[in-house]
Amino acid sequence: MTKTFEEKCRFLNYELYLLHTISKAIKGTFNENTILNLMLTGLTANGALGLSRASVFYYESEKSLIYGKAGIGPIDEDEAFRIWKDLDRNNIPVESYLQYAVENKLAIQRYPEKISDIAINFDELPPENYFRRVIAERRIFHVTDMNERNFNLPEQLRTVFVPSEIIILPLLSSKSVMGIIMADNAFHYNPIEESTLLLVSLVTIQTGIALENSQNHAVIRRQLEELRELHNSMENLQAELIKKEKLSTIGKMASYFIHEIKNPLVTIGGFAKRITESDNIGTIKRDAGIVFKEIKKLEQILGKLSGFALLSPSKIERVNLIEVVGEVTDFFELEFSRKHLDIHVDVPENLYIKVEKVQILEVLFNLVSNSVESMNAGSIGISAVMEHPFVRISVKDTGKGIPEENISRVTEPFFSTKTGGFGLGLFIVANIIENYGGRLEVASVEKQGTTVTIYLPA
């Protein structure tokens, strides 16, 4: 039967439309099974390419294994006419047919079950066997005259074989043969045309690309998953470390205070005992005086302890920085003049920070106090600028500086080089700043001076 030119044009147009639809559908997913089902339904859709059954086999070269992966189509004539009648009645266009096929799992038939049971050892295939040749030669085979006698496919395929026209073609990735696609015209026996062969090979090329993308996608997803897990475990580890660090700080703090409290207590107890045992009024008076002094010491220590209770902010307000700087410099005025220190304040008016006022006072007090203690003459500069979302505050002195090996330790609790120093000043400062999400930086050159810069929320 010859087609008119118009018929040929219409057919060609339809084929292009079909190819476009199938490849769009295949590219729309990363799911391997969906890709395979879309391709197979595309090949066998009634009124599309006119193939009656199609199947996919995967090839694993390192195991010399070919195995059935998926298939679509009737197993015998009865089933064939039942399915085709049903599809005809519903008159489903190609686009929705693919959707329909996936949603209604048309792939689940007796034919696909048999296909998925098939496993073939590649090495046992004779050289002329089409399944060996399609992998070795990577080209399409169109066999029009195969029957039981000249059967030239792997023996395992006899369970689904019907004498008909068969096409066998490789499923290619960019690097290798991933598998084999097989289709036939069983039961309706409409001849498979050259144009169909071309279209089928184009569809399988699309499928190969989509499968490869899907595999890459899966690899990337797995790697992302691993990265995420790694990230999570790092975060957990970090949280644990922070917790441990805090615990050890609390432990240090507790043992520090135990020591600080125990010493005066021992002294008080000892002298109190002596008082009870003594008849000499002079000794009693002296010992009672010592007891009194030690009790004063205890009170001071408790005062420091309650200072720690102030560590976490409770009443955050907008604090005008220039005001608190003024309060701190006023406090040190006597000290400044006694040591002949120059004070430079470079803080803009109406620069506000969102903190609890007591805490910013504590911070500035500590920083200025450190500077004052570090020198007997020189200058201290206090400056601040807006650095959104923070206000950057610097306290710079020309004091004796910090040896390089100690710079990283200055915020450790109980680190002190001063005689009688608690080693808690910068520790408290750092903790307060950290509570506000800010940060503290220390730059220092020995015998030249130190600059402490802090960032607090504006």
Binding site for other proteins (CB under 8 A): 255, 258-259, 262-274, 290, 293-294, 419-420
In sequence order, which residues have a C-beta less than 8 Å from that of residue 271 and are 6 or more positions away? Answer: 287, 288, 290, 291, 294
Q: How far is the CB of 248 from other proteins (least distance, A)?
A: 13
278 or 394: CB nearest other proteins: 278
Q: How many CB atoms lie within 10 A of CB 412?
A: 16
Q: What is the dihedral of CA 370, 371, 377, 380, to 10 degrees?
A: -160
386: amino acid identity, one letter: M
278 or 379: CB nearest other proteins: 278
141 or 257: CB nearest other proteins: 257
Q: How far is the CB of 425 from other proteins (least distance, A)?
A: 17
Q: How far is the CB of 406 from other proteins (least distance, A)?
A: 17
DSSP string of 179-193, one letter each residue: EEEEEE-TTT-PPPP
In sequence order, which residues have a C-beta less than 8 Å from that of residue 277 and are 6 or more positions away? Answer: none
* Integer Cα distance of 40 and 22 in angstroms: 10
Q: How far is the CB of 419 from other proteins (least distance, A)?
A: 5
**Torsions phi, psi of 220, nearest 5?**
-65, -40
106 or 291: CB nearest other proteins: 291
401: amino acid identity, one letter: G
159 or 255: CB nearest other proteins: 255
Tell me how many degrees the CA angle 307-421-456 measures, rounded to the nearest 5. Answer: 50
**Torsions phi, psi of 267, nearest 5?**
-65, -45
Q: How far is the CB of 266 from other proteins (least distance, A)?
A: 5
Cα 329 to chain centroid distance, Å, stands at 48
63 or 293: CB nearest other proteins: 293
Q: How far is the CB of 424 from other proteins (least distance, A)?
A: 15
**Token pair belonging to 194:** 């050259």
20 or 262: CB nearest other proteins: 262
Strand partners, 443: 451
Cα 150 to chain centroid distance, Å, stands at 58
Going 349 to 352 to 356 to 362, the CA torsion angle's sign is negative
8 or 418: CB nearest other proteins: 418
Contact 383, 347 (CB under 8 A): yes
73 or 264: CB nearest other proteins: 264
In sequence order, which residues have a C-beta less than 8 Å from that of residue 149 and are 6 or more positions away? Answer: none
Contact 97, 83 (CB under 8 A): no
Q: How far is the CB of 347 from other proteins (least distance, A)?
A: 37
Contact 378, 371 (CB under 8 A): no
